[in-house]
A and B are shown apart, each in its own frame.
Chain A
Amino acid sequence: MTLLSCRGLRKEFGGHVVLDRLDFDVAEHEVVALIGASGSGKSTLLRCVNLLEEIDDGTIHLDGEHITDPRVNPDKVRQRIGIVFQAYNLFPHMTVLENIVLAPTRVHKVPRATAVATAREWLARVGLADKAGEYPDRLSGGQQQRVAIVRALVNSPRLLLLDEVTSALDPELVGEVLSMIRDLKSEGVTMVLATHEMGFARQVADRVCFLDGGRVLEQGPPETVFAEPAEPRTRQFLSRIIEAGRL
């Protein structure tokens, strides 16, 4: 079943066209990796899907509902989509636990005791049970990123968007975040992740989409796209990545 469907998306920033009649679909339980050069619009696409950016043309449907209809309340849509940013963006004035229960208690009106119990369960699962009372600035980058992912997950989003969640981390810390994402995949969480880690995209993604010129230029299973890319632009991009030693 199609969970997310973008048709003819267009987004420009002051005349600079970033997304140009882009079509993009995600099926339920699917994990899609967005790859492409820096500035190709991966973050922009994710922000548009989460309605953090207003699109200039096209439509986005989530679960068959037209969410870019101006009459739709964006707050209600965002409640069904989780997004995690490269820079974690935890709230520095709240403890880890408060960060996680904020949306469940305030937005989803879950009783506090229930929200706290769920939060503690998640923290235990990702190995951060003892950090519930800490403030974010006392955690390592990898720990903060896992908290940020948990903060998005406790709202049981239909779709989880991950924007380069490992690129601010030291190589040793990348592993713990990646294994967490692999676990989520095995549970059937639908995810779209923008990434520069081709190895990771290859391991975890069901499908890889190469963004170029404001569109999805090429897509397919990772084995195909990485091993025998059809488009010259994809080949060029991948060979540059290989030179940089990131494949």
Chain B
Amino acid sequence: MTLSPAQQDRLAYRRRQTLLSVLVAALSTLVLGVLLVVAVTGAPGWARVRESFLDASVARESLPDVLRGLWLNIRLLFFCAIGALALGLVVALLRTLRGPVFFPVRLLATGYTYTFRGLPLIIVLYVMTLGVPGLRLQGMPSTLVLGGIALVITYSGYLAEVFRAGIESVHPSQLAAARSLGLTYRQTMRHVVLPQAVRRVAPPLLNDTVALQKDVGLVSLAGPIDAVRAAQIHTAETFNYTPYIVAGVLFVLLAIPLIAITDWVTLRAARRQS
């Protein structure tokens, strides 16, 4: 198939334009990078800053401990994310129940989301890890587990609202169609409403999971040593801040896949909308 001269001309023009914009982008990135490096390394305090924040030997020395701490972050993130998603979904479903029989349940679920979205995480964490063990009950779980529970409680408050927004975004006609086929309320929720709701709110759900990833470290306030706390211990020993940079880099590396997934899901959701 041969293209008309007009189309050939159009394609050639577009190719030239693409090449040009790539060149411009590369050049401007390079210029900006050089400027930044010159500005930072040329600063009067650069030598001292490099010494106390970017010391390779301190980094090597602290890495094993920081990694051990990071492993705690990862485990906590995994279990807390699952717990908060599950609890959030349950609370959201309870809030959508209709009918006077469910009034107390609805009230409780609503109160839950109001309370734990308003209450600072640190306070929930202190109450759970310092207050609850004071009850001296039999079979009291470890501080780590209690801290995890505090995270789950707080985050499920947010996630419940995200789920609820998703559930309410499904048009009532979908419910009517499902019920008219003889599906029960539960079957309707499970097969018709929730699949559509979760798809729609997947981006904000994942966003909250990224936020949770940064907050799980707060359990170290109650004792367990996470990556940041491990870095802090090393800093206190050596009076060098490099371990914080090590921990920071690891956190970012850990977040990259999650953030990339979030972006991908968001993009896909946006495409499906149009």
Contact = CB atoms under 8 A, between A and B. Distances in A.
A103 B176 contact: no
Interface stretch (B73-81, B177-185, B263-271): B177-185
A152 B181 contact: yes
A78 interface: yes
B192 A91 contact: yes
A242 interface: no
B55 to A, nearest CB: 54
Given A92-B196, A93-B196, A102-B191, A107 B174 contact: no
19 contacts: A52-B179, A52-B180, A75-B179, A75-B184, A78-B182, A79-B181, A79-B182, A82-B180, A82-B181, A87-B173, A89-B173, A91-B174, A91-B177, A91-B178, A102-B183, A102-B191, A103-B183, A106-B183, A107-B181
A85 B174 CA distance: 11
Interface in A91-111: 91-93, 102-103, 106-108
A116 interface: no
A40 B89 CA distance: 41
Interface string B164-204: 00000000011011111111100100011001100100000
Interface in A11-63: 47, 50, 52
B176 A75 contact: no
B183 A52 contact: no
Given A85-B176, A89-B174, A78 B181 contact: yes
Interface in B93-127: none
Interface residues of A, number: 25
Nearest to A77: B182
B165 to A, nearest CB: 17
Interface of B: 173-174, 176-184, 187, 191-192, 195-196, 199
Most buried by A among B178, B180, B184: B180
A107 B187 contact: yes
Contacts of B179: 52, 75, 78
Contacts of A87: 173
B180 to A, nearest CB: 5
Given A91-B192, A93-B195, A93-B196, A103 B173 contact: no
Given A92-B196, A103-B182, A52 B187 contact: no
A128 B207 CA distance: 41
Contact of A89 (B177, B183, B199): B177
A191 interface: no
Contacts, number: 57
Given A89-B173, A92-B196, A93-B196, A83 B191 contact: no
Given A87-B173, A93-B199, A75 B180 contact: no
A75 B177 contact: no
A90 B176 CA distance: 11
Contacts of A151: 181
Given A79-B182, A103-B183, 12 more contacts: A50-B180, A52-B176, A75-B179, A78-B180, A89-B173, A89-B174, A90-B177, A106-B183, A106-B187, A107-B181, A151-B181, A155-B182
Nearest to A106: B187
A107 B174 CA distance: 17
A75 B196 contact: no
Contacts of A92: 196
A78 B175 CA distance: 13
Contact of B182 (A85, A93, A107): A107
Contacts of A93: 195-196, 199
A48 to B, nearest CB: 12
Nearest to B195: A93
Contacts of B176: 47, 52, 85, 89
Nearest to A79: B182
A90 B196 CA distance: 12
Contact of B180 (A83, A90, A102, A108): A83
A102 B178 CA distance: 9
Contacts of A75: 179, 182-184
Contacts of B174: 89, 91
A49 to B, nearest CB: 11
Contact of A85 (B177, B183, B199): B177
Given A91-B192, A92-B196, A102 B177 contact: no
Contacts of B178: 91
B271 to A, nearest CB: 12
A85 B181 contact: no
A81 B182 CA distance: 9
B181 A155 contact: yes
A44 B160 CA distance: 35
Contacts of A89: 173-174, 176-177
Most buried by A among B181, B195, B199: B181
